[in-house]
Structure 1
Amino acid sequence: MRKYFRVVKCMFKNYPVVSNSIIYGSLCVGAEFSQQCITKKLMSTPPQPIDTDMVARYAIYGTTIGGPLLAVWYRWLDNKFVGTSIKIISRKLLIDQFFMTPQLLVIFYVAMSVMEKKSNLFEECRQKFLPTFKNSCMFWLPVQSINFLLVPPAFRVTYVGCCSFAWVNILCWIKRQEY
């Protein structure tokens, strides 16, 4: 078991973007799959099949867009603001939530619209950005406080990915809503 943890630690140290992208993408897939199991299998009468195309889109987004962006972002944030004082953590929280999060939400909605081949790539983002951002603040501010205070930098994206399992379920639900 120790050997396994050494290998994982080595992968995260030597290949942080790739390692975090694979984990983040896998967690996005798991979140979308579990969300569909709830909404399509348990809450629908009759049960509906899993939308595998949507699961694939979350795999693409999480592995090739979200994971790499977050890995690079947290590395930059940790190098720019070193330490765990209240002042530094507050800066990280505010910059993360009010600078990076809006960009990630726009990227998410536009990337999904591109993959869904929608004619207006920005319409869903325009309709859902504010409700998504409000929910994001309620969810991520406490989660990121723990992240910046307690989680070692090498595991920040993995921690965020694990929390994203819950967040992507919320995001999937918001995405399916009509506004």
Structure 2
Amino acid sequence: MAIAKIKHIFKKYPILANSVVYGTLYTGAEFSQQTYTKKIAPATGVPAPYDLTAMGRYGILGLGLYPQVYYFWYRWLDGKYVGTATLTIVKKMALDQFVLTPPLIASFYLFMSIMEQKQDVFEECRNKLLPTFMTSCVFWLPAQGINFLFIPPAARVVYVGSCAFIWVNVICWFKRQDYSKTKED
């Protein structure tokens, strides 16, 4: 009964349903990162309060940007490349990783920098885009292979949202790293 109701909601309101699930998982990843870095293993040894503003920024991207992009991207991708033949899966994986992923990673750093009101909104993107992208290849290529081979099209955004929970924990870690270039005097 509950599964039938959930399927009905996803069929009737696919963008909204996908946005809620994806946004919850995306924000939940930042919550899990903060739980670890602020409560379980704080750098100072003293637990710190949660940064709800930071969680809100993840919520904005997780609810308002990425699920809509993924929804229309997978509709297009599944319509253009139908089936589960090896070559079809490889094409989908290559397009997803090398066409969609770089702008999504760049938009993550740019939008976060804008929301954080940083002076140079491009600095973090310049410094972290390449290492983040290289790590994303290791994570997302196998995840997308599973997605395109076994996951039905209607469940793609939820599957990617579930993987994104893990991935956003990784990208949260990258976000907290200092990759700034130091000038030698």
Shared fold by TM > 0.5? yes
Letter in 1 for 2:160: V
Q: Secondary structure of 2:117's partner?
A: coil
Q: Secondary structure of 2:65's partner?
A: helix
**1:107 match:** 107
**1:158 match:** 158
Deviations 1:88-111 (A, max 9, x none): 000000000000000100111111
Identity %: 52
The TM-score with structure 2 as length reference comes to 0.94
Matches within 5 A, 1:128-139: 128-139=128-139
Q: In the alignment, is residue 142 of structure 1 matched against residue 142 of structure 2?
A: yes
Cα pair 1:17 1:72 within 8 Å, conserved: no
Distance in 2, matches of 1:14 and 1:94, equals 31
Deviations 1:120-165 (A, max 9, x none): 1111101000000011000000000000000010000100000111
**2:30 match:** 32
Structure 1 counterpart of 2:13, from 4, 15, 29: 15
Shift of residue 16, structure 1, vs aligned partner: 1.4
Shift of residue 14, structure 1, vs aligned partner: 2.1
Distance in 2, matches of 1:114 and 1:12, equals 32
RMSD: 0.8
Distance in 1, matches of 2:13 and 2:72, equals 12
Matches within 5 A, 1:9-88: 9-44=7-42, 45-88=45-88
- Please, which runs of 5 or more residues in structure 1 have no aligned partner? none
Letter in 2 for 1:43: A
Shift of residue 35, structure 1, vs aligned partner: 0.8
Distance in 2, matches of 1:135 and 1:83, equals 28
Distance in 2, matches of 1:85 and 1:38, equals 41
Distance in 1, matches of 2:144 and 2:99, equals 14
The TM-score with structure 1 as length reference comes to 0.97
Letter in 2 for 1:41: K
Greater CA radius of gyration, 1 or 2?
2
Distance in 1, matches of 2:16 and 2:106, equals 23
In the comparison of the two structures, how many residue pairs are matched?
A: 177
Distance in 2, matches of 1:153 and 1:12, equals 12
**Deviation larger for 50-59 or 11-20:** 11-20
Letter in 2 for 1:112: M
**Deviation larger for 154-163 or 12-21:** 12-21
**2:182 match:** none
Q: Secondary structure of 1:139's partner?
A: helix
- Please, which runs of 5 or more residues in structure 2 have no aligned partner? 180-185
Cα pair 1:21 1:71 within 8 Å, conserved: no
Cα pair 1:21 1:63 within 8 Å, conserved: yes
Q: Secondary structure of 2:46's partner?
A: coil
Distance in 1, matches of 2:94 and 2:12, equals 29
**Deviation larger for 92-101 or 39-48:** 39-48
